[in-house]
Amino acid sequence: MIFRHITLDEQVTVCHEGETVLDAMLREGRDVPYSCRQGACQSCMMRSLEGMPPEDSQKGLKNVLCKQDYFLACLCFPSQDMVVALSHQADFFTEATVVSKVSLNQETLLLTIQCKDALDYYAGQFVNLKRSDGLMRSYSIANSKVHTHKLTFHIRRLAGGRFSEWVHQELNVGDILSVSDPQGLCFYLPDNQGQNMLLIGTGSGLAPLAGIIEEALEQGHTGQIHLYHGSREMDGLYWIDEMQALQQHYENFHYTPCVSRGDAPDGVATGRANDVAMATLPDLKGWRVFLCGHPDMVNQTKTQAYLNGASLKDIYSDAFHVASSSLE
Ligand code: FES
């Protein structure tokens, strides 16, 4: 068995073979930031002061960070002893003030924040929200990039979820949060405005899709845009009226709410959103597809969309938010 010694703040953590730096530190009770544990949110970023970080632990980091030996602790299987430091997170965060909290349904609220500095993001990306004690979680931006200072999020309350419970119960209008640089590759670019688009989301996975739709319509997207929003029961859906109003206003926008259990009222489809979408749109050749929600749904739907003719390069997905939520 090979052990590596990872020194942070003069305290040594023993990293076992096959274990990441993050896992080793959490096992030893070290207080280090993290969220997704899958290399997506970058909240576990550290800097190596001694010892080269493995190349795989720098996946997705900007070149400028790689060159300075930053790495993601959740992807780092160290090949030598290392001395590391937590990244200077203040460099990557901006301050934001809570502007409003509005209930979307029993378990989800719409959080709006006003950022001190303009954020340069693409509709569909996510940020890390951090409170003053360092606890942070990743949330998708739910609005288009027209509002460079104002961001909205759909925060679903998770039983035992420390961050989401705190947002629902304790965070008040006027409070301050830290907001990271925007991240993620599931976003809209207005490069092919005649392309048809299919968007499928479950639960609060509607958030990035709503931002993408708003952006596409504002940019004058001319292709057909089909949104399928699913939940187990009617209680889990929200923004039905808003999406129906959008559908009335834009001829090329089509909205189908779906429930997989119980009775569905008129205008709501019965079945899982991905199954309903794939049955209704059997030919996705040339389409752009966005998927957001539970990882199982996202993975299954990727395959379905591919089998229905969508090219893999045109399928964008964002599943980790749900995955990270379950780790709270
Ligand atoms: S990238 Fe490591 S915890 Fe998210």
Query: Mean pLDDT in runs of 10 for the chain (328 residues)?
Result: 90 95 96 89 90 93 74 96 78 87 96 90 90 91 86 93 95 96 82 96 95 96 98 94 96 97 90 97 97 91 96 82 38
pLDDT at 63: 64
H or E, element range at 166 = helix 162-169
pLDDT at 88: 58
pLDDT at 215: 95
User: How remote is the CA of residue 190 from the centroid of ligand 1, in Å?
Assistant: 29
Joined together, the tokens standing for residue 3 give: 């052990």
**Tokens 């989401």 belong to which residue?**
164
> pLDDT of 77-115, one tens digit each?
999 999 999 875 445 688 999 999 999 999 999 999 999
The answer, yes or no, to whether any atom of ligand 1 lies below 6 A from the CB of 274, is no
Cα–Cα distance between 272 and 230 in angstroms, integer?
6
The answer, yes or no, to whether any atom of ligand 1 lies below 6 A from the CB of 34, is yes
DSSP letters for 201-239: EEGGGHHHHHHHHHHHHHTT--S-EEEEEEESSGGG---
The answer, yes or no, to whether any atom of ligand 1 lies below 6 A from the CB of 37, is yes
The answer, yes or no, to whether any atom of ligand 1 lies below 6 A from the CB of 281, is no
Amino acid at 202: T
Starting from the edge strand earliest in sequence, which strands make up the sheet with 136-140, in order?
A: 136-140, 126-130, 176-180, 93-103, 108-115, 150-156
The answer, yes or no, to whether any atom of ligand 1 lies below 6 A from the CB of 41, is yes
In angstroms, how far is CA 288 from the centroid of its own chain? 19
Beta strands in 93-181 (DSSP E): 93-103, 108-115, 126-130, 136-140, 150-156, 176-180
Cα–Cα distance between 106 and 298 in angstroms, integer?
24
Asked if residues 319 and 313 have their Cβ atoms less than 8 Å apart, the reply is no
The answer, yes or no, to whether any atom of ligand 1 lies below 6 A from the CB of 115, is no
User: How remote is the CA of residue 202 from the centroid of ligand 1, in Å?
Assistant: 23
pLDDT at 320: 52
Cα–Cα distance between 314 and 162 in angstroms, integer?
35
> pLDDT of 317-326, one tens digit each?
876 543 333 3
The answer, yes or no, to whether any atom of ligand 1 lies below 6 A from the CB of 121, is no
Cα–Cα distance between 255 and 260 in angstroms, integer?
16
The answer, yes or no, to whether any atom of ligand 1 lies below 6 A from the CB of 74, is yes
Site to probe by mutation for ligand 1, drawn from 26, 34, 138, 322 as the one with most ligand atoms within 8 Å of Cβ, is 34
